[in-house]
Amino acid sequence: MLLSFGNPKLFSISKPKVFDVLDPFLFLYFFTLHADQLNLVLHSYTIRFNNLLALFLLLALILRFKEKLISFDRKLVWGLFAVACSLFISFYYSPYRTRCFYFCGWFGFTILCYFVLPYLLLIHLNTRKIIKFYFLSFMLVGLYGCAQLLSSFLGFVDPFSVQFIVEGKIVRSNAFTYEPSYYALYMTPFVIMANLHYLLRKGHDFYIFRSMKLSHLLLINFFYFVSCSTGALFAFIIFFCLLLAFKIGSLKKKVLKYASLFSLSFILLALLLPAFSKIFFLKFFTLKFFLHHSFYERWCQIYNCFRIFIHHPLKGIGLGGVPIYLHERCVNGDPGYMFTLVQEQVVLTAPNPVKFFEPSNISTEIIASLGLLGILAFSYLSGYFVRFARQALRSKNLNHDQKHWILLFFVSTLVTLMVWQFSQGLFRIYIWTHLGLFFAFLKKESELSNNLQS
């Protein structure tokens, strides 16, 4: 039984009793979701260690459950089919078919291994085991990120570290990701779930902690902020705003108190370490956003994607076509687009200049790549998620325990999707994994409750 109150029969998360041969692979699958740097390059193609684990687990599930795997939600299938159709149409009419073919294939692989696979894992295996492995992987990644920072104070620079607080000496934690902002994005859903759980049910079970205490929460938040990423700060601002907008019972006073303590902590940090705060957490605010290169680069790409959408409103230019299109516009000196000084310099000198023109905002990437058809497809899929979650939270068949965890998944997903707007790429596999687990949890608990009620 998960918690000491509510009807335990209505909650499917029971303690796993038997060791499964897949358990080590399940944990490694979740642990290496963030591991961009653990890869193998074959003929210019990058294959991540996690990709191999995902394929192995998918094959193992097929062999174990066979025809039982064909049990998807019909509306979800229609949503994924709509996305697939928009991808095919934009690919067919794209001037960059070769590149788009590769990107469409890679996106299909991403959906299969990082949305469908975690969905099937949670549907067909023990729910508590899956979520426990999922949460534990975050803790170990956070421990490693913390070790990167602390060991650098002792003079040891981790070989996977890529950015520094003090050049060549004190690192910004990124674990095995390409950069600290990706590390922060990866940690966001877990951190938000932990904070909301503490606000709602302090002292209760959190899968990896029998009793969620303040010391646990502070440790998790410390793991988050060792990245020194502004995205981590934005995530908490969004988190507080969402909770106040939801008006959940007596939570408003707790949120205001928690937000005040959070703000005071950052004010104290700014007073004690003003230079550090200005360069990292508060860099966009102190430099008035547009004066900071990171924000200006993102804004240029957002503006350029909108321009592409205006010229190709219905079908876009194909997934993966945006960088090539912008590279061509930059080479031709097109005054209708905005380019940074770096982009203008690398056009003629860099061995692979196209990578400097990658989209920096997920929403504008979709509208530029897939046009209105892509917008409609993803809107249908997103709307279905929201409606399903809201129906579950209002359902009389679900008990308080189930609704609590659905709310944690729901809020963490919303915050993560909003933070995702500051990072590039539809291919952030850990976000698709979180979405897959969330939807599977919704479906499994809803069906279990309906079966018990009928």
List beta partners, residue 126. Answer: none
276: exposed, middle or buried (Cβ count in 10 Å: 0-12, 13-18, 19+): middle
Are β-strands 39-42 and 170-172 bridged in parallel, bridged antiparallel, or unpaired?
unpaired
Residue-wise pLDDT for 295-336, tens only, equals 778 888 889 999 999 999 999 999 999 999 999 999 888 888
What average pLDDT does the segment 165-180 reach?
87
Average pLDDT over residues 187-191: 96
E-assigned strands of 32-140? 39-42, 45-48
pLDDT digits (tens, 9 = 90+) for 403-454: 999 999 999 999 999 998 876 678 899 999 999 999 999 999 888 776 666 5
pLDDT of residue 11: 36
pLDDT tens digits, 28-80: 999 999 999 998 887 767 889 999 999 999 999 988 887 666 667 788 889 99
User: pLDDT grade, residue 150 (50/70/90)?
Assistant: very high
pLDDT > 90? residue 253: no
CB 401 within 8 Å of CB 354:
no
**362-402: per-residue pLDDT in tens?**
889 999 999 999 999 999 999 999 999 999 988 888 888 99
pLDDT at residue 189 tops 90: yes
Task: Note the pLDDT of residue 20.
Answer: 79
DSSP for 144-185 reads: HHHHHHHHHHTTPPPTT--EEEETTTEEEP-TTSSSHHHHHH
Q: Give the residue among 437, 29, 414, 406 at the shortest CA–CA distance from 192.
A: 414
What pLDDT was estimated at residue 111? 95
Q: For 200-247, write each residue's pLDDT tens digit.
A: 988 888 989 988 999 999 999 999 988 888 888 889 999 999 998 887
Q: How confident is the model at residue 453, as a pLDDT?
A: 64
Task: Match 């050049």 to its residue by tokens.
Answer: 167
| DSSP state, residue 290 | T
Structure tokens at 2: 């998960």
Computed on alpha carbons and rounded to an integer, the radius of gyration of the chain in Å comes to: 22
Per the CB < 8 A criterion, the answer to whether 228 and 281 are in contact is yes
Q: How many residues does the chain have?
A: 454
- Partners of 40 in the beta sheet? 47
| Window from 106-120, 266-280, 392-406 with minimum mean pLDDT | 266-280
Q: What is the pTM of this model?
A: 0.89
